[in-house]
Amino acid sequence: MHDPAELRTLHLERFHAEPAVFAAPGRVNLIGEHTDYAEGFVMPAAINFATLAGISPNTSGKIAIYSENYREERSFDAAALPVKPSGHWSDYPMGVAHVLAGEGHRIPGFSLSLWGDVPLGSGLSSSAAVEVATALAVESLIGTSYPGPVLARLCQRAENQFVGASSGIMDQFISIHGQENHALLLDCRDLSSKLAPIPDEVALVIANTMVKHSVAGGDYPTRRREAEAACAVIARHRPEVKFLRDATLADLERWGHEMEPKSLMRARHIVSENLRTVAAADALLRGDLEELGRLMAEAHWSYSRDFEASCVEADAMVELAADLPGLIGARLTGGGFGGCTVNLVEQTEAETFAQKLGERYTARMGIVPEIHICHASGGAHRVA
Ligand code: GLA
């Protein structure tokens, strides 16, 4: 995480006012991909990359937002917030302001500085980190404090309704509720969750394929639509099936022939992924790392072959990790079509693993990857 003291200095120099500073982490998902919007299960962990937000009130009636990452400032009229996105980085913080205004809050003028080290477009939820950090900052200004799950929904709404990305609840939820050294099994239906400790001997090695990923792009919503079409077919026979969370592999056997072949494949991934995710949480809780690794590998190939959300580079990153000493499990993490793989690796082997994986990937793909040895971190908070 960047140094909050530096953000404070930066804010003071630019806006001449003392900021309150908040931090919200990115996340890595261990297993459970494209299951959240199907009201299924996910098992992410917050990571030690975060967005910092510094906020101070002003009397100009303007919302001034500065991003240190983009080295750019934008200004808006607080009394007439934009109602539409502009395809700009400021859509994420302004989406949050828009949603809070929609909840009946009067949004006053403020100055906001943002600075994050969550790699952008890498499937590690840099957008959720910006939304959650902004939400905490604005909350402090207007004197509200929503319960975590409600705040997560509001941030998701900023992304769905303002930014225009049809993402689920996972990223915002874990950015708020992450716990040091734990993954979290989240039931995306009722937002109940269970913490699963990540043993000290296990490192989270995150390997960036350097292929850009975007939830707002076309592939994510296409997959979602294809999966929902499969659900609609099952619902014709079993009206109690509202989401793929409610469907079984037997339903797919029985009515799969009525579905478009691609829809059937997408649904097979989601239905089997829900089973794997719950089983993976069980395995982690009872310390069966071998089983966890096996489930992660199965999840990767289901994501790649049935969901067709991987890419040559991510498949290579997973394959090249498979026989490296210390590997417990590897798979593509996040929304897909690029981004990062998550590797659970024995702590004592993590450095060598990272180095070898990098060399192998460069030799095969001609791309130098960024590989980070991370740990599961706490959720969003005010920085003292
Ligand atoms: C993105 C979305 C999440 C989730 C994942 C895929 O990160 O923001 O809601 O759907 O993709 O699991």
Give the pLDDT band (50/70/90) at residue 216: low
Pocket around ligand 1 at a 6 A CB cut-off: 29, 33-34, 36-37, 125, 167-168, 170-171, 215, 334-335
pLDDT digits (tens, 9 = 90+) for 257-311: 999 999 999 999 999 999 999 999 999 999 999 999 999 999 999 999 999 999 9
Any catalytic annotation for residue 282? no
Distance (angstroms) between ligand 1 centre and the Cα of 334 equals: 6
**Strand, helix or coil for residue 274:** helix
Given the candidates 2.30.30.30, 3.30.70.2860, 2.60.40.10, 3.30.230.10, the CATH classification of the domain at 4-197 is 3.30.230.10
34 CA: nearest ligand 1 atom: 12
CA distance between the termini of the chain: 14
Does the structure show a pLDDT above 70 at 346? yes
Strands 110-116 and 62-67 come out as parallel
pLDDT number for residue 218 = 85
- Say which DSSP state 257 is in: G
Of the residues 171, 251, 306, 315, only one is catalytic, namely 171
pLDDT digits (tens, 9 = 90+) for 20-58: 999 999 999 999 999 999 999 999 999 999 999 999 999
Q: Among 31, 35, 36, 266, which is best to mutate for testing ligand 1, by the most ligand atoms less than 8 A from CB?
A: 36
Distance (angstroms) between ligand 1 centre and the Cα of 36 equals: 7
Does the structure show a pLDDT above 90 at 215? no
pLDDT digits (tens, 9 = 90+) for 67-115: 999 999 999 999 999 999 999 999 999 999 999 999 999 999 999 999 9
Contact 361, 353 (CB under 8 A): no
| Tokens 């003392």 -> residue | 18
Phi/psi at 81 (nearest 5 deg)? Answer: -65, 145
Segments making up each domain of the chain, as ranges: 4-197
Does the structure show a pLDDT above 70 at 178? yes
Q: Among 215, 307, 332, which is best to mutate for testing ligand 1, by the most ligand atoms less than 8 A from CB?
A: 215
Average the pLDDT over 163-177 and give the result: 97
Size (the chain), residues: 384
Give the pLDDT band (50/70/90) at residue 200: very high
Helical pair 148-157 and 126-142, crossing angle rounded to 10 deg: 120
Please name the helix (run of DSSP H) or strand (run of DSSP E) that holds residue 88, with its range, or none.
none
Distance (angstroms) between ligand 1 centre and the Cα of 358 equals: 26
- The string of DSSP letters for 106-154 reads ----EEEEEEE-SPTTSSS-HHHHHHHHHHHHHHHHHT----HHHHHHH
Task: Count CB atoms within 10 A of the CB of residue 151.
Answer: 25
Tokens of 10: 């930066």
Q: Rounded mean pLDDT of the chain? A: 97
Distance (angstroms) between ligand 1 centre and the Cα of 336 equals: 8
